[in-house]
Structure 1
């Protein structure tokens, strides 16, 4: 049997620590810890090999046995803490929630530690994405397409921002993710002999005509600024999705999904 601790005060030291982890990127980086909310997200984190230290649950929302079930295929033995409804409402990020939170250890996202097992990888790269919702959507697409990696160049936020975890519905845990400067990422790709296909308006060919069968990186920028000149100067080929309406761009996650699944189609969805 697990020993069940209890917390009933929002002034509790652990509650204050969790609030800092939820709200402050600096605290997440300093401690190497972050917060996961929801059963599905915790399950995906466990599948992704994340180490979970503590589980907090609200018994009116989730049965204790259900929290045990999350770890039935894991060797981890986290601390279990029952919290009151007031405490849980203080900690929970989502309005519609499942009554369970976890404190987990983050994984390194250093580019030099990224291992590509596939000799012919297909990678998504996003330069300087600012909106957690877009990052989450990109990670969902990457998971759906079973990409070999996602690389964020010139990151503006840390990977374990609660908004990213929420918007990715846990796919932040199921992808191989690395971060680095644009220069570092370009050097990495060239060292691996990976073609660079930049989504850009200038000097571009229709993405349908591009051969994504060789090792390929699909690179997208922000909707406001596009890609930096450094990417365009190092591009194997700029690509474009032809527009038939009045605007010249789409949401970055939508554009990335269109190109990624064309690449997967060419590869026979390998």
Structure 2
């Protein structure tokens, strides 16, 4: 049964963004403009995705479903979703950095942009979760009308999974953002390519996982979130390695120097 305890996941998802940004601002003294730039990049990328969903995506899904066997259609749709995320999210950051003064930022500021990018997503998803629970609490009959699989997601066993997802997805956003920014700073598209592949895998595999694990019902979320956690751990290790190799605390004008002399 839905209770006031179900308000916590939404609040905690929002707290992920606030704590991450607050900690980095306090620890590294990155200016608010860098967090704001990351948030703006996310808004632009999502806006383009929404436009695609309102125009070409739905006809594409229908065509794939009609033209291909089920398994092939699922894989093709997952590939489309992954490529779309890889191209748009990294592409917006790359172009925004390339054609602005952001390319002069330090490594710490690049991380701030990534926190802004992932943080605004966590804030909005957390707010939507909070609004959903408040609406259902105010109209209990809505809960009774939901399918059992949806009701299960509000049980203690499942309800904090979105919070875990936001934490590790934030790491993924920071990693891909830093790589993309340094593709500009180092004039090396290799890093953009790695960011593209990483984001494509992260988003592109989710739909196939959901399809092939659907027999587990609501329990499918555990292996799916385990995948996100693994990707987040890879991202966190990648950010740490990249910081050691390409700038760390180096001043902004020297941040693109791959041998800063630490």
Same fold judged by TM-score > 0.5? no
**Higher percent of residues as strand:** 1
TM-score (norm 2): 0.24
Q: Greater CA radius of gyration, 1 or 2? A: 1
Q: Which of structures 1 and 2 has the larger relative contact order (alpha carbons within 8 angstroms, sep 6+)?
A: 2
TM-score (norm 1): 0.24
**Higher percent of residues as helix:** 2
